[in-house]
Amino acid sequence: MAIQWFPGHMNVTKKAISDRMKEIDVVIELLDARLPGSSANPMLAQLTGTRRKLKVLNKQDLADPARTEAWLAWYNAQEGTRAIALDASDKAPAQRLIQACRDLVPNRGGMDKPVRVLICGVPNVGKSTLMNTLVGKKAAKTGDEAGITRIEQRINLASDFYLFDTPGMLWPKISVERSGYHLAASGAVGRNAYDEEEVALELLRSLKGPYPDLLAARYKLDDVAAIPTQHDDELLELIARKRGAVMSGGRVNLTKAAEIVLNDYRSAVLGRITLETPEEFEVWWAEGEALEAERQRKKALRKKKSNQDEV
C-alpha cells in the first residue's frame, strides 16, 4: 500500500513558497537525520530552482553517527548545497546554521542587502523546536503530531538576517514506497493515512538487518543472529508475546505490538538508528522513478485509446 498525505493546507504552503521564492537567497531544508533521503521533499527542487540550499540533518542525537556522516558527505557533494547536522534543542549547534547561510551567499549582508532565508521541512521534523531555540523564546507551536504549524512566520535573527518559517509540507505523490513507510514511522504523516501494523512491519524490515542487537536488547529476543532473516510477521508476533500484547486464548494483539514498536522508534528508546543509507535511497529512488514512468506511459496509452474510441 502506497502512503499518501497531502491535506489542503499543504497546497496553500506550496503556493506560499513559490510566491516567496523570488526574494529568497538561501533555502534551509530541515531533514530528519534518521531518514535523510525520505524526509527530503523532491517538490522543493522545482520550487527553489537555483537558490543556494542548506540541508540540516536534525535530530542527530537520535540517528546512527556513522550513517549521519555518510549522508553529510552525500549532500555536501551536491552543487550549491551545504549540509550540517544538529539537535534542534541544543542552542550552540543551532546557531551554526546562521553562519552556514552567510557562507553560502557571501555577497549578501548588511542592512542594504540582508540575508533572506526560507526554512522548510516535512511535518514533525522538529522545525518549530528549532525556531524556538534560535529566537530564545516560544515563537512557534511544537508537538509530536504532524501539521502543527499552519501559517508562514518571519523572524529576524539579526538586523540583516530574515528567516521565513513555513508549515510542514509533504508532496502530492510519494513515488518511493519505502520513503512513505519511513515517513509514517517517523510521525511525518497524519495517523489517518496509514495502517499502523503495516508501517510497523516495514519498520522492522528496515531495522532487522542493520540493528538486530538493538531489537534483541529492547525486546529481550534470545537469538540475535536469527533476527536479520526472520520474517517480519513472525518478528512482530514474537515482540507482541515478549511485551505482553496477548489477548484471551493466547492470541497476540498485533495492533498493540505495532503501537509499541512505532512508539519505541519515535521515542528513540530502541537506540540511535538511521533507516537508510545514501546508496539504498538512490536505488529506491531509481525504482520509484521507473515505476512512475511506467504508470504515466500506461495512462497515456489509455487516454490515447479512449480518444480513438470516441472518434
pLDDT value for 148: 40
Statement to judge: residues 71 and 23 lie in one domain: yes
Q: Are residues 154 and 219 in the same domain?
A: no
Angle formed at CA 59 by CA 11 and CA 92, multiple of 5 degrees:
110
Residue 57 lies in a domain: yes
Using one digit for the tens of pLDDT, what is the confidence trace for 116-151? 999 988 888 888 888 878 777 644 444 444 444 444
**Cell numbers for 218:** 529492547
The pLDDT value recorded for residue 17 is 81
271-281 pLDDT, tens digit per residue, is 999 999 999 99
Q: Which domain covers residue 72, as residue numbers?
A: 8-165
The segments of the chain whose pLDDT lies below 50 read 138-151
- Residue 304 resides in a domain: no
> How would DSSP label each residue in 4-57?
----HHHHHHHHHHHHHGGG-SEEEEEEETTSTTTTS-HHHHHHHTT-EEEEEE
* 258 occurs within a structural domain: yes
Residue 31: CATH number of its domain: 3.40.50.300
Cα–Cα dist 305/115, whole Å: 53
Last residue of a domain, one of 123, 147, 165: 165
Q: What per-residue confidence (pLDDT) applies to 49? A: 82
Q: Is the pTM of this model over 0.75?
A: yes
Q: Do 15 and 77 have their domain in common?
A: yes
Q: How many domains, in total, are found in the chain?
A: 2
Tell me how crowded residue 280 is: count the other CB atoms within 10 A of its CB: 13
Q: What is the pLDDT of residue 192?
A: 80
For residue 225, the 8-state DSSP code is: G
Same domain, 240 and 137: no
Which residue reads 502543527 in cell numbers? 148
Q: What is the CATH number of the domain that holds 210?
A: 1.10.1580.10
Please indicate, yes or no, whether residues 42 and 137 belong to a single structural domain of this protein: yes
Both 89 and 235 in one domain: the answer is: no
Within a domain: 299: no
